Amino acid sequence: VVRGIAEDCAQLQPDLFIVYEGNNEVIGPFGPVGIFASFKQSEAAVTVARTMKTSRTGQLITSLARPSNQTGAPADWGGMAMFLGQQIAAGDPRLDAVRGHFRANLLAIADAGHRAGAHTLACTVLTNRRDFAPFLSQHRRDLTAAELAPWQEHFTAAEKLQLARDFEGAEKSYRAALAIDDQHAGLVYRLGRLALQRGRDPEAAILLQRALDLDTLRFRTDSSLNEIIREIGGSGAPGLELVDLDRTISAASPQGIPGDELIYEHVHLNLRGTYEAACQLWPHIAADLVHRGLLTGPAPEPFSYDEARLRLNYNTYEQAMIATELLNRFHQPPFAGQADQASRIHAWEKRAETARTLLARPDAMASLAELGRRALAGQPDDWTLARNTGAMLVSLKQPQEALPLLERAAVWIDDDIDTLIALGWAHQALGHTDESEAVFAQARALEPHYPGLPAPKDKP
């Protein structure tokens, strides 16, 4: 799928490709646990399947070939919880095919860029290893009932000792369990966290990476995929360059391991994480601009993190919305079953409460509106900034000020669901019934199950 996107982008004759890919390779549409398509071991089979799905003839053949009792793929996306029953152990031989597909895809993306005259920066991928427990764990396949009983005794005893801050006793019990079964991701993660508590950071880094690699709900980029990126990016292929974000940013992270300070949950970079990644990319991009003669003189320095916050209008309202969304997510599977769920929810509830307290101040509304105006004055053509500021003003009961911003955003991108929803509520707040219903109808056509989307009004 991404290869196709790269080919499309290459037609625009870009100067630069930045490839940040690796998450969801196993659970993607053509992966071993693909819910919307069966897994194809060979690259050629994936290509044929993708081509078949894009033509009407191929779709007809596929439908005729499907057994009459097969219900087919789910009609709607059900989120990460759809994959709870689709665990893949670290030793599953199908992962070799995934790695082969991944290598071929990265090479094809870089080749598409090179043929278009673009330079490609292949980036390793950051994952939350320090502060994020594995989603799911499995015991080694040949573990017997006679072995499982003492394993569980050691594991339970270690948890109790760790809570009592008897770290030495806890480690002894964890290692006794590890001697019986070293394939359980949750056990390896707890040992890694214990090593952190005892000040053994290098050992902790190895254990926490191992815990990620053993996680059987494989949403995160594992060490083998990052090594493929390093291999390809450092191969010396024409127009291809490695940017090892994982190693450089990890080295500057607390205890040398990336965690909550950079990543919202398992993989999605927060603003600080995004800023740090951009700073690492900055000199590579500047060097390419100089090489192309598009930049003369010394390259400018990146602006500060605080300046980035102002330019993007990353304000208290945005933070409150993010905290609310994440709390909703963390109460749902697969997050709900994690070992560290309670501490994560507690931390985000504190952040949400702090944001709500600040938003309740009498001067909050005027300050937020002014920050939005300042950001837009500096970047009047940023449609995302216009949409976000407009949505914020709707929420703050200022629809008159929000409407022109949302209309501008809708002119730029007319099928962005978030823009349409905010625009519909702005029209409704202003009493524009026909306009509101027309926008909501467009939103229903795009995403009929969007949360909070009002039902269509009955016509007289």
Q: Which residue has the tokens 């290598």?
A: 103
Contact 214, 92 (CB under 8 A): no
* pLDDT at residue 86, as a whole number: 81
Sheet architecture: strand order including 119-123: 16-20, 119-123, 240-243
Residues of the chain with pLDDT under 70: 29, 34-38, 40-78, 458-460
* Distance (Å, whole) CA 228 – CA 107: 11
DSSP 3-state helix, strand, coil percentages of the chain (rounded to 5)? Answer: 60, 5, 35
pLDDT digits (tens, 9 = 90+) for 208-241: 999 999 999 999 999 999 999 999 999 988 899 9
The DSSP 8-state label assigned to residue 16 in this structure reads E
* pLDDT at residue 49, as a whole number: 60
Nearest to 392 by CA among 414, 364, 410, 369: 369
Cis link prior to 32 (omega < 30° from 0)? no
pLDDT digits (tens, 9 = 90+) for 387-432: 999 999 999 899 999 999 999 999 999 999 999 999 999 999 999 9
The DSSP 8-state label assigned to residue 417 in this structure reads H
CA neighbours closer than 13 Å in the CB half-sphere of residue 191: 26
* Distance (Å, whole) CA 61 – CA 65: 6
Please, what is the end-to-end C-alpha distance for the chain in angstroms?
46
* pLDDT at residue 1, as a whole number: 84
* Distance (Å, whole) CA 387 – CA 217: 35
